[in-house]
Structures are given as C-alpha cells and as structure tokens.
C-alpha cells in the first residue's frame, strides 16, 4: 500500500538548481514516513514549466513550478528541508502539499528565515504537521466523531502517563460517557483527534485518541452563566477530556493533543478548564495533567483539577 502526497514547488528561475537539489534528496535521502528514522527514495519533483511550456493562451510562465506525487514521504521533514536550503529568492518560494488524508493544498512561504503555513486560514494550521511521533497527525474532531469519542471513553483509555497500566478495562461509566460525549458537538465544544498511519494499518489513518473540552454552563468563578452573544462562552468553565488507546500511551501523543487544545481554549475565551480524575483513574493521571498542562487541585471539587486561562 502507498501513502501519497501531492507536492508542488514554485521558485524563481535563479533557484532552479536548488529545486533540482531538493528533488535529488527526495530520490535518495529523504526520511520515510512512519519508518523510525529510515531514509531512502520517496519520489521526485519534475519541472512543469520548461522552455517550451506556455500557460494562459500562449503566455510563458513567470515562475518555475516543480511537481510530484511522493510516496511514504515524511512531510514535516520535507518542510524542514525546504526551509534549510539557501534560496537566492526566498520571498518567492511557495511550497504546496496535499496529503493523502486531505482534499486541499496547504501552502508555505518564507517570513524571514522561517517557512510559515499560510493556508488554510484559521485554527487548523496549528495542528499539522504535528510535533509528536512521525506516524501521528491531528485533525479537528467533527460531528461524525461522536461515536468515536464514546468508544474511546467506554474502552477506558487514559492520558499517556509513563505509569499508566496497559489494561484499564473498567472504562468510564455511562454517566461519564453521557456527560462528556452525548450530543457532540454542542455549541462551544472543541476537540482534536489523533490518527496513526503505519504500514501495519495499510497506510490508512487509524484513530488512536482524542482530546476535547465541553462547556459546563458555569462562569470561571464557579457561578452558573449563560455565555455571551450568539452562544459565546467568554469567561466560562469547560471540562477537559484526554483519552488514548492503550497501545499508544507513553509516546507523547497526549501532550501533542493537549498543547493546541489549551491554545484553542484560550482563543475561544474559556476562563477555566477543569479535569475530573475519578478514583479509578490510573495513578499517574494527576501528575500528567500537572506536568503537561499546569493543572492544580481544586479545593472545592472532589477529584477535580483546574487551570485558569484568563
């Protein structure tokens, strides 16, 4: 099975040699996606704008464009490689990538010495490419993920603490599942899903965990509150849930999920996040939330931790 990414690179004519150097790297030394640091052939970029190529009814192109369909390429490594090359005209370099799991191109351009993801606009750009294991990427939790969230909770998944036991078959009780996942998504709900793509899965993305927050209808001071205009939840309290399947605990996926989720909560105007830690939770859950999220014990809530975001 293959894992294909469509890639286009637009450069000024003076940077043609570097575009060709990038293609040679893809043909020989590029990191392979999900292959634990192995390198090799993932494809090539071929020029689409040769001397005899005309665009737009007989007009010659004003840039050089290279394109290719890459196979098993580590896309984060590709972005890093483009950033490292000594382009003569970096302001005109555009890298466009359509991953197999997506239906649109993402576009990077240089801002100073760094490549910056420009499109798609909005919060999605915070979550891809990921900063965790090479086989894992994140996407937004959609309305169609309601069943997935319930399944993860029912299976008893937990954050990837180092001392989380491999078997936590008790799972969440029906009340916890209903409170956290029923009716997903309600207004103000926000979540991320982690997917792993490996040779074992036939290079198909498999959900391995999720993190989300859901508003409790209280203000951050603990009083009931109805939010702002148009359902806005500024200053409200939201409950955090982080779940992972047992086989992927201890790999840093939980922290990979939690970081952008906290940024999204701040951007949404959440005043406080709470996390319920029942007595049946793995021993390391509290320490994990303190270490990775800055959560603290709440004196007025049995088994709860809180994080003030305002």
Of 174 and 300, the structure prediction assigns the larger pLDDT to 174
Indicate the average pLDDT of the chain. 80
**pLDDT of 286 above 90:** no
Q: Domains, the chain, ranges and CATH?
A: 4-121 (3.30.70), 136-308 (3.40.630.30)
pTM exceeds cut of 0.75: no
Percent of the chain topping pLDDT 70: 77
> CB–CB of 245/164 below 8 Å?
no
The SS3 assignment for 22 reads helix
Question: What does the pLDDT read at residue 198?
Answer: 81
Maximum mean pLDDT: which of 10-24, 146-160, 206-220, 235-249: 10-24
Question: What does the pLDDT read at residue 129?
Answer: 57
Tokens (6 digits) for 79: 């972005």
**pLDDT of 221 above 90:** no
HSE-up of 25 (CA within 13 Å, CB side)? 18
């Amino acid at each position: 099975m293959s894992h294909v990414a469509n890639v286009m690179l637009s450069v000024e004519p003076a940077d043609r040699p570097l575009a060709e150097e990038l293609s040679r790297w893809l043909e020989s030394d590029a990191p392979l996606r999900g292959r634990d640091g192995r390198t090799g052939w993932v494809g090539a970029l071929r020029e689409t704008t040769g001397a005899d190529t005309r665009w737009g009814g007989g007009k010659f192109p004003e840039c050089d464009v290279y394109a290719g369909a890459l196979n098993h390429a580590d896309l984060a490594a590709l972005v890093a490689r483009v950033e490292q090359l000594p382009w003569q005209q970096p302001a005109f370099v555009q890298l466009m990538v359509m991953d197999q799991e997506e239906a649109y191109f993402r576009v990077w351009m240089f801002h100073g010495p760094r490549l910056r993801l420009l499109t798609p606009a909005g919060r999605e750009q915070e979550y891809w490419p990921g900063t965790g294991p090479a086989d894992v990427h994140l996407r937004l939790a959609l309305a169609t993920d309601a069943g997935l969230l319930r399944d993860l909770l029912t299976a008893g998944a937990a954050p990837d603490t180092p001392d989380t036991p491999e078997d936590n078959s008790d799972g969440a009780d029906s009340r916890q599942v209903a409170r956290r996942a029923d009716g997903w998504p309600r207004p103000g709900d926000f979540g991320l899903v982690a997917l792993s793509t490996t040779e074992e899965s036939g290079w198909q993305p498999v959900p391995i965990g999720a993190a989300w927050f859901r508003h409790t209808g209280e203000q951050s001071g603990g009083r009931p509150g109805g939010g702002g205009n148009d359902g806005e939840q500024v200053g409200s309290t939201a409950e955090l849930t982080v779940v992972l399947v047992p086989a992927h605990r201890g790999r840093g996926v939980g922290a990979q999920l939690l970081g952008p989720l906290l940024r999204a909560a701040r951007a949404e105007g959440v005043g406080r996040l709470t996390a319920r830690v029942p007595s049946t939770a793995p021993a390391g859950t509290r320490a994990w939330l303190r270490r990775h999220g800055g959560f603290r014990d709440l004196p007025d809530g049995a088994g709860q931790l809180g994080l003030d975001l305002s």
